[in-house]
């Protein structure tokens, strides 16, 4: 990517979160009154928490027809759903417990079971939802990026990065010694819209590497996300953008 036209820089993390929440409601709006459902894969980690909190506020929550929304997760840590590390727990606390979304529209990844079995269950769930499709097509995918360039739970060097047929894979965060379950690269690349949410100075160098790769530098997982027939937006705060 030479100079991404879809890079949006915000002065503060709060402005970034508001912009992401605005996009969520804007992209969901065309689904009102339509038979199709608005399918979203949520990001984990800390950055999206404020986006989810905002979506649950008076300012935003009435602009979304929650019964029309199906929420999935881009990845999950292999922990129980009430564990502090659980992406589901974070989304539940910040958003799901506060809006009128039917429980059947929330499709969590089971973090507490056998990871391989949970990955298969999640893939089955997705195949049922996206019935008959060779790949799922999410209407919106939210992603973050770690300092090492990982996205969802696709870590540098992970075998899952080259997955070509599975929709869901088991990976491992080696430093934390934590198993993870993640959607695979082709799934993200089939999405209609992908939004990366990046904040903080500690991400600045990696963001520069990703958006302006130098010849000969190795690829990091976030660079594999290039929707075939969809949009890719980078919403970043000024700290993360400070080296661009």
Q: Give the separation between CA 171 and CA 174, rounded to whole angstroms.
A: 9
Instruction: Report how far residue 48's alpha carbon sits from residue 137's, in angstroms, rounded to the nearest whole number.
Output: 21
Least separation in angstroms between residue 160's CB and ligand 6PG is 13
Choices 1-9, 99-107, 143-151, 236-244; region in contact with ligand 6PG by CB under 6 A? 143-151
Which of 39, 86, 87, 190 is close enough to bind ligand 6PG by CB under 6 A?
87
* Minimal distance, residue 131 CB to ligand 6PG, in Å: 26
Of 28 and 237, the one with the shorter C-beta distance to ligand 6PG is: 237
Element (H, E) at 60: helix 58-61
# binding residues, ligand 6PG (CB under 6 A)? 15
Q: How many CB atoms within 10 Å of residue 221?
A: 24
Distance CA 241, CA 9 (A): 7
Q: Which of 39, 151, 158, 189 binds ligand 6PG (CB under 6 A)?
A: 151
> Per rule CB under 6 A, is residue 150 in the interface with ligand 6PG?
yes
Residue 219, CB-side half-sphere exposure with 13 Å CA sphere: 11
Give 69 or 154: the residue with its C-beta nearer to ligand 6PG. Answer: 154
Residue 189 near ligand 6PG by CB under 6 A: no
Q: Which residues contact 223 (CB under 8 A, 6 or more apart)?
A: 1, 149, 210, 213
User: Does the protein bind ligand 6PG through residue 75 (CB under 6 A)?
Assistant: yes
* Residue 46 in the binding site for ligand 6PG (CB under 6 A): yes
- Quote the CA–CA distance of 207 and 234 in Å, as a whole number: 10
Residues found near ligand 6PG in the complex (CB under 6 A): 43-47, 74-75, 87, 144-146, 150-153
């Amino acid at each position: 990517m030479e100079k991404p036209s879809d890079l949006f820089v915000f002065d503060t993390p709060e402005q970034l979160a508001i912009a992401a929440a605005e996009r969520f409601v804007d992209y969901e709006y065309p689904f009102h009154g339509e038979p199709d459902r608005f399918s979203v894969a949520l990001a984990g980690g800390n950055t999206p928490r404020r986006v989810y909190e905002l979506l649950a506020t008076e300012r935003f929550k009435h602009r979304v027809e929650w019964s029309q929304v199906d929420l999935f997760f881009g990845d999950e840590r292999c922990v129980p759903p009430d564990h502090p590390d659980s992406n589901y727990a974070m989304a539940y606390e910040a958003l799901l417990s506060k809006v009128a979304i039917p429980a059947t529209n929330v499709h969590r990844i089971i973090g507490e079971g056998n990871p391989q079995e949970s990955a298969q269950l999640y893939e089955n769930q997705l195949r049922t939802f996206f019935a008959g499709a060779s790949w799922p097509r999410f209407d919106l995918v939210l992603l973050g990026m770690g300092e090492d360039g990982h996205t969802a739970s696709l870590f540098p060097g992970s075998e899952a990065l080259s997955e070509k047929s599975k929709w869901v894979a088991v990976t491992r965060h080696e430093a934390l010694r934590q198993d993870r379950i993640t959607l695979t690269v082709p799934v993200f690349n089939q999405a209609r819209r992908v939004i990366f949410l990046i904040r903080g100075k500690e991400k600045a160098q990696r963001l520069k590497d990703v958006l302006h790769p130098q010849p000969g530098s190795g690829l990091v997982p976030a660079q594999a996300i290039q929707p075939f027939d969809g949009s890719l937006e980078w919403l970043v705060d000024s700290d993360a953008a400070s080296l661009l």
